[in-house]
């Protein structure tokens, strides 16, 4: 699940059986989200366009109340008005995938 803190709802959900499975997530600089997981020897592959949400998002103040398991750098984006934006994905014991941006 990819959660929007601004909308307070899921913006991408994939039924994969849980965060304990082998999985990977990629978010392109254009906002295309790709999720891949393995479930009972089957490959789950999902692509969704999230640019409409990402272009209007604000950052969440606190990022986790539990232990981080993974952090993955996704991309850098340059803006004339705001400077450089670095975007990462984090996953923790709570099985929540968060997309975070840092200026």
- Residue at 61 is within a domain: no
- The residue range of the domain holding 94 is 68-102
Residue 62, both tokens: 């606190």
How far apart CA 5 and CA 102 sit, in angstroms, is 16
52 & 9 share domain: yes
pLDDT of 57 reads 58
Give the residue ranges of DSSP H helices in the chain.
51-54
- Residue at 21 is within a domain: yes
42 & 72 share domain: no
Q: What kind and span of H or E run contains 38?
A: strand 32-39
Considering only 4-8, 19-23, 38-42, 53-57, which range has the smallest mean pLDDT?
Answer: 53-57
How far apart CA 88 and CA 55 sit, in angstroms, is 15
Q: Tens of pLDDT along 29-83?
A: 888 999 998 988 889 999 999 887 776 655 455 555 567 778 888 998 887 777 7
78 & 51 share domain: no
Tally of structural domains, the chain: 2
- Residue at 62 is within a domain: no
The answer to whether the pTM exceeds 0.85 is no
39 & 76 share domain: no
pLDDT of 8 reads 76
């Amino acid at each position: 699940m990819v959660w929007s803190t601004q909308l307070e709802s899921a913006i991408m959900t994939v039924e994969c059986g849980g965060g304990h499975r082998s999985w990977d997530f990629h978010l392109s600089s254009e906002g295309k989200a790709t999720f891949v997981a393995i479930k009972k020897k089957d490959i789950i592959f999902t692509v969704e366009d999230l640019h409409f949400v990402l272009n209007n998002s604000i950052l969440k103040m606190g990022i986790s109340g539990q232990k981080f398991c993974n952090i993955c750098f996704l991309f850098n984006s340059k803006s004339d008005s705001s400077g450089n934006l670095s975007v990462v994905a984090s996953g923790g014991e709570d099985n929540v995938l968060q997309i975070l941006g840092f200026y």
